[in-house]
Structure 1
């Protein structure tokens, strides 16, 4: 079969590992075509020529060596009307929007299999999306640096912002695992004056405070509001998109291999129109129709999320 592969939407560490493992498993029996810059390259027929060495040497690189893109809905629908695929199967690496919308629409024209790849980890129906562990580890490192400076020069409040769009999975995972003094996410409403009071109590107790917040709470605006209520100096740390380009962890590279195994199984069984999902220790799949009906994922709220009290 002729199999096309694209990366769609925001890049995620581990995407290159998926590209390598897909090629390693499928290239013996199928013709593999990599399309440049996501859906845009697919529609324009822009092909990326990659050798085995190219793929292997970038296995542990962040980002995606074939590029990705976001396409406006009007443009996507217009291009879709004239889409004449020269492939039998399309494999799409992407996040919530790519798997729930783009894949479903493309599946009307070509057999599609999706793989969840997003640091946001917000794709419904799957416990895990490739890139999440790498981003978490990146923010753990950033938190550790703040902890070092916080214990050195005291009487300050540090606010570490994570990516995550309108979801709080990254902030929740990082903040909960390190028992941050407070975690703010879009899924939980909060009152700035109460957050400020909690942070001030923490500083009085241990000399400094560290909050982990998701970008979805409008972090910069929230920081300015906190400055009005806090007596201590606030330091806002925004690593931004560095997290998306970080080196993938062992877990993400291993997950890339496992997801690719299931894709190979699905192709051999002629099972298309699906997204591969991880549920517990098992890999399975959901149809795009089912995926689209599922509610948005909500982070598991642990005690220190929005608690803000120092023990």
Structure 2
């Protein structure tokens, strides 16, 4: 193993730069050459590759986004595109690749591994939707971004005596809504894993108003309903409480990563380089009980992600 590449793919997440930095510096420390592959698998196909040095990753640990840029590549899924990617890997003499991204990125890494390329995956996604690991890189920052929004919205909501629905990311996984809702004291948390009742939500709002509560916060994961504005309108009609909707959108992807995400990204990246030096391939890095672990990519992708029912029940108990 003489030269490795590092790429970020799919949706960006805070902490990706910290992971890139750690991969590059740990590799150089161990006398490996490193190249940065820009724009994910699309950049791999097109040979958008540059040599990385210690100075290449200076002053990025605190920055959101990814210095290598990112993209989704439909071409990589085709036989022609994949063949071009393999040719580029051969031309540049790349012996292994560290892939930072979500499940789609991991499937690309799995495909490269099956073609004989050493690959290690780091879980970079704000959704926390990879079941094999307790946390993904960027999740902690995303929920803190939502918490800041909850605090700001609560101020104006209290002034007007309103209810507020805050729509957060998580089309198939409700972890952002769940964790931010618990930490932010939301009255109701609506996630894709659990059925919800508008009438039950309305009952909570009315009970809160009757005991003098001046505001109400409802966390809603995107994709649970087709039109969040309709949910707000129905709640307002049934309760008589003015109900506003705030869609946070891609603000959740940006911002300086928290200390937790910077440390997590650095630990995972260091482990990735260790595995590469041991000639390991087709592995993904995760964290379980504060211990950094690794697992076969194929096995990791088959584990079903489930909502933490203990936290979900606790959030309900505390929101009475």
> What TM-score comes out, normalization by structure 1 length?
0.92
Query: How many residues align structurally?
Result: 308
Counterparts of 1:266 and 1:148, CA distance in 2: 49
Equivalence for 2:312: 302
- How far does the alpha carbon of each residue in 1:243-291 deviate from its partner, in whole angstroms, 9 at most, with x for none? 1011101111111111122112211211111001111121111111211
Distance 1:77 1:298, change over 3 A: farther
Question: Structure 1 residue 6: deviation in Å?
Answer: 0.6
Q: Where does residue 108 of structure 2 map in the other structure?
A: 102
Query: Which of the numbers 248, 261, 274 marks the counterpart of 2:257?
Result: 248
Give the Cα–Cα distance (whole angstroms) in 2 for the partners of residues 140 and 184 of structure 1. Answer: 16
> 1:304 deviation in Å?
5.3
- Is this contact kept in 1: 2:42–2:75, CA < 8 A? no
Unaligned runs of 5+ in 1: none
Are 1:211 and 2:218 an aligned pair? yes
| Displacement of 1:48 | 4.1
d(CA) in 2 for partners of 1:241, 1:124: 23
Contact in 2 for aligned 1:181/1:304 (Cα 8 Å): no
Whether 1:134 and 2:141 are equivalent positions in the alignment is yes
Contact between 1:111 and 1:273, CA under 8 Å: does it hold in 2? yes
Q: Is the 8 A contact 1:182 1:309 kept in 2?
A: no
- The answer to whether the Cα contact below 8 Å between 1:115 and 1:275 also exists between their aligned partners in 2 is yes
Partner residue in 2 for 1:56 = 58
Q: Equivalents in 2 of 1:43, 1:122: separation in Å? A: 27
Deviations 1:12-40 (A, max 9, x none): 00000111111111024111111111110
Q: Which residue of 2 aligns with 1:15?
A: 16
Q: Which runs of 5+ in 2 are unaligned?
A: none
- The equivalent residue for 2:244 is 235
Task: Tell me the SS of whatever aligns to 1:120.
Answer: coil
Residue 183 (structure 1) aligned with residue 189 (structure 2):
yes
Aligned residue number for residue 4 of structure 1 = 5
Select between 25-34 and 189-198 the one with higher mean Cα deviation: 189-198
Q: Kindly state the Cα deviation for residue 240 of structure 1 after the two structures are TM-superposed.
A: 1.0
The question of whether the paired residues in 1 share the 8 Å contact of 2:103 and 2:301 is answered with no
Distance in 2 of aligned mates of 1:260 and 1:294 = 22
Instruction: Provide the rounded CA distance (Å) in 2 between the counterparts of 1:103 and 1:58.
Output: 25
TM-score normalized by the length of structure 2: 0.89
Corresponding residue number in structure 1 for 2:100: 93
Deviation at 1:50, TM superposition (A): 5.1
- Once the two structures are superposed, residues 205-235 of structure 1 have per-residue CA deviations (whole angstroms, 9 ceiling, x without a partner) of 3122111111131334433443442311111
Following TM superposition, by how much is the alpha carbon of 1:55 offset from its aligned partner in structure 2, in angstroms? 1.6
Name 2:74's counterpart in structure 1: 72
CA distance in 2, matches of 1:241, 1:114: 24
Match of 2:285?
276
CA distance in 2: counterparts of 1:75 and 1:143, whole angstroms: 39
Q: Give, in whole Å, the separation in 2 of the partners of 1:257 and 1:309.
A: 35
What corresponds to 1:32 in structure 2?
A: 34
User: What does the per-residue CA deviation read over 1:160-202, in whole Å, with 9 as the maximum and x for residues that have no partner?
Assistant: 1211222100110011123311111111011223322322322
Query: Which position in structure 2 is the counterpart of 1:158?
Result: 164
For the residue of structure 2 that corresponds to 1:27, the secondary structure is helix
Are residues 1:286 and 2:291 paired?
no
